[in-house]
Structure 1
C-alpha cells in the first residue's frame, strides 16, 4: 500500500512539474506578445493586457520593463499609457539604466521631457557609475538635459 501511495505521489509531483513548466512557457509567450505590442505601439493590445491585470512593470528576458522598451522605441503614446498605469520610471535594467537613459541614448527628446519630470534619485548611478548627467554628457545631450532643469 505504501508503494502505491508513493507511486501516486510521485506521479502527481511529476504531472505538477510538467504543468508548471507548460504554464511558464505559455506565460513567456504572453510576455513576448505584450513587449512586441509595446515596441510597435499597439495601444489596444497593451490596454487589454493591463485591463486584465498584466503587471505594468513585468520584466522581459533582457531585464527591461515595458516603459524602457517604449521609451527606447520612441513610442510616446505608449510611454503615457504605461506611466498612467503606474509604471516605475525609476526602475533599472541589469546595467542600471533607466527608461529615461534609454530615451536619451536614442535621442527621443520628447520622451526624455516626459520622463524627466518624474522624480527619481538624481544621484543614482548605473553599473558603470554614471549619473543621468554623466550619461547625457557621454551622448552629447547634456545641454538639452540641463535645459529641462531650468
Structure 2
C-alpha cells in the first residue's frame, strides 16, 4: 500500500481493470454473445465505469438492443442511473434507438425514472409516439 492509500482504497488489480475495460468495450460494440458469456462467468451484470455508466447504459446508448436484452436477461438493472442521474432508457430516447427502447421496456425499464426521465426526454424532442408508448407502459405496470 502506498503512503497515499488508505486501507479502504486499495489499488485495483491491473488484470481486473483490463478485464473491465474489455467488457465495457463489448457493451459499446454490442457483442451480446461475449457479454453474456462474461456475465455468466461471474462479471457483475451491473458493472459500472468511473462515470456510473453500466453495461446496459453503454449498450443502450450505442444502439445495441441484443446486448441490452442479454444483460437484462442476466439480471442487469434496466433503470440503473449513471452519476448524472441518466437512465439507459432516457439515453436511448435521446439517441433515437427504437429497438433499444423496446428492449428496455420489455426488460422492465420505468419511463419515469432518472433525471431527465425518458418521458421528459421524449417531451423535449417532441416524440409523441414514445409518450403514448410510455403512458401505456406505465398504466400496465
Distance 1:71 1:22 in 2: 27
Structure 2 gaps, min length 5 = 137-141
Shift of 1:22: 6.0
Distance 1:80 1:22 in 2: 29
Over 6 Å off, 4+ runs: none
Match of 2:37 in 1: 48
Distance 1:146 1:98 in 2: 16
Match of 1:132 in 2: 118
Match of 2:16 in 1: 27
- Tell me the TM-score normalised to structure 1 length: 0.75
Match of 2:88 in 1: 99
- Where 2:103 maps in the other structure, the secondary structure is helix
Match of 2:131 in 1: 146
CA RMSD of aligned residues (A): 2.2
Distance 1:73 1:79 in 2: 10
- Where 2:11 maps in the other structure, the secondary structure is helix
Distance 2:109 2:12 in 1: 40
Distance 2:27 2:46 in 1: 12
Contact 2:63 2:100 in 1 (8 A): yes
Distance 1:131 1:77 in 2: 23
- Tell me the TM-score normalised to structure 2 length: 0.79
- In the alignment, structure 1 residue 108 sits paired with structure 2 residue 136: no
Q: Whose radius of gyration is greater, 1 or 2? A: 1
Q: Per the alignment, do residues 109 and 70 of structure 1 end up closer, same or farther by CA in structure 2, a change over 3 Å counting?
A: same
Q: Which residue of 57, 62, 73 maps to 1:73?
A: 62
Distance 1:80 1:125 in 2: 20
Q: Per the alignment, do residues 115 and 138 of structure 1 end up closer, same or farther by CA in structure 2, a change over 3 Å counting?
A: same
Shift of 1:61: 1.9
Aligned residues: 128
